[in-house]
């Protein structure tokens, strides 16, 4: 496949409005230009896209870590809320026992 076809195919895969966007396939296209068509005028643009894709993948990994952390924190918060409710119920029970003893 020639460099221009690979570049256009890479653009299709990387396009944000493509419902089947695939950064891995886009990366493959741009990397093939760099590796197999080193004299192409599209090498610089392909390298720019490769850097952008790498940055996107880093951001996606960061978002996934943050989502995991958020879920963990939400679960801990819910557990603490449940514990607080149980403690409040025990306190109410203890107050009722104290009132009965008086």
| 12 membership: H or E segment, kind and range | helix 3-14
What is the distance between the alpha carbons of residues 16 and 23, in angstroms, rounded to a whole number? 10
- What pLDDT score was predicted for residue 18? 96
Examine the pLDDT at 44 and tell me if it is beyond 90.
yes
Q: What is the pLDDT of residue 1?
A: 83
CA dihedral (85, 86, 88, 89) in degrees, to 10, reads 120
pTM of the model: 0.71
pLDDT at residue 31 above 90?
yes
Q: Which residue stretches of 1-102 are H helix?
A: 3-14, 23-36, 43-101
pLDDT, one tens digit per residue, over 59-98 is: 999 999 999 999 999 999 999 999 999 999 999 999 888 7
Measuring CA to CA, which residue among 86, 67, 85 is closest to residue 75? 67
**102 pLDDT higher than 90:** no
Residue 66 corresponds to which tokens in the numbers above?
């943050």
């Amino acid at each position: 496949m020639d460099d221009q076809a690979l570049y256009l195919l890479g653009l299709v895969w990387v396009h944000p409005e493509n419902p089947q966007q695939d950064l891995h396939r886009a990366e493959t296209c741009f990397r093939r230009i760099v590796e197999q068509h080193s004299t192409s005028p599209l090498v610089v643009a392909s390298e720019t896209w490769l850097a952008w894709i790498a940055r996107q993948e880093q951001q996606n990994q960061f978002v996934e870590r943050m989502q995991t952390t958020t879920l963990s924190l939400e679960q801990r918060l819910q557990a603490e809320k449940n514990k607080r409710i149980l403690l409040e119920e025990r306190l109410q029970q203890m107050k009722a026992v104290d009132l009965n003893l008086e």
